[in-house]
Amino acid sequence: MTLISRLVFSIDKKTEQKSSDQLNIHEISIVIPVKDNQTGIDNFFDNFFKTQAKDTFPKEIIIVCNNSKQKTTIKKEFLDKFSNIKLLECKKVGPASARNLGVQHSTGKWILFVDSDCIPTETLISGYQFAKNGVIAYAGNVKSLKTDLLSNYYETQEILIPLKTLDKNKEFVPQYLITANCLVWKEAFEYVGGFNENITIAGGEDIDLGLRLSQIGDLSYAFTSIALHDFDDGIIGFWKRFKRYGKGNKIIEKLYQTDMKPELFRPNKRNFVNEVLAKMQWLALKIGYHSQK
């Protein structure tokens, strides 16, 4: 487990909501925030049109450029294949603000959040059709694009899979959401006020949203929906990512008055490399946690 070191939340539902609409993939708006990752957006669309048939296209795809040094662009070839691609510019700092802006301009009943360094598979959208109806949000599946040592570690540690918890029926459900791949009923998203824009880093904002959604309705896994994550930033990116997540831990700790201090852990798949990476992950989390005021 990554962002949260252990199960520490026990949240009673303030009210109970269920999505009233059947999950229609043509009522899905995809929202992707991006900062300085034109290559990621190009890769997303390249693979989107390779893996998706026209009859499985969503209602729209909304790209939100979030203070990139060089403005993000959408290639004409992509627009020729699917005209309902929107490109927005968000001047507020952070992916929370960028995603909120994307939702504000969306017209679908469901919002599929994906990160700019994720690659769609054939089941990214259609996989949600096999999920249970009635819940207000789904946590999709995220796997590593590559098979190098770092990518294998990310996948075996389920870095981008939300923590499992038991519901009242003793079934495993996600305790929160991770925006690399998750689907949220727009009505519920708006009911809880969307992402907390006071969280300006890419760490903790999606956990906070998922926890607030879990107070008003049920969440469910949708493992048949698969996105591939490109962890191509090497060991430096590894260190920066978990340092940022450690900051996110501290933010969530303050918001929910709970203990989020990172603790030492053993990797899910034990070998020498993973043991070393687990210690590095813990140290980066710890440094990020203590550096966040």
So where are the chain's domains? 25-232, 233-293
Q: Residue 286: what pLDDT?
A: 98
Q: Residue 10: what pLDDT?
A: 47
Selected residue with higher pLDDT from 18 and 163: 163
Give the pLDDT band of residue 13 (cuts 50, 70, 90). Answer: low
**Topology of domain 25-232, CATH:** Spore Coat Polysaccharide Biosynthesis Protein SpsA; Chain A (3.90.550)
- pLDDT exceeds cutoff 50 at 53: yes
- pLDDT exceeds cutoff 50 at 3: no
Give the pLDDT band of residue 167 (cuts 50, 70, 90). Answer: confident
139-164 as b/e: b if 16+ CB within 10 A: bbbbbbbeeeebbbbbbebbbbbbbe
Q: Residue 9: what pLDDT?
A: 44
Of 51-60, 164-173, 231-240, minimum mean pLDDT range: 164-173
- pLDDT exceeds cutoff 80 at 142: yes
How do strand 85-90 and strand 164-166 relate by DSSP bridges?
A: unpaired
Give the pLDDT band of residue 23 (cuts 50, 70, 90). Answer: confident
Q: Residue 7: what pLDDT?
A: 35
Whole-prediction pTM: 0.93
Q: Residue 293: what pLDDT?
A: 87
**32 in helix, strand or coil?**
strand
- pLDDT exceeds cutoff 60 at 196: yes
Q: Residue 6: what pLDDT?
A: 34
Of 14-18, 70-74, 243-247, 271-275, minimum mean pLDDT range: 14-18
**211 in helix, strand or coil?**
helix
- Cα 291 from Cα 293, distance rounded (Å): 6
Give the pLDDT band of residue 5 (cuts 50, 70, 90). Answer: very low
- Cα 114 from Cα 99, distance rounded (Å): 10
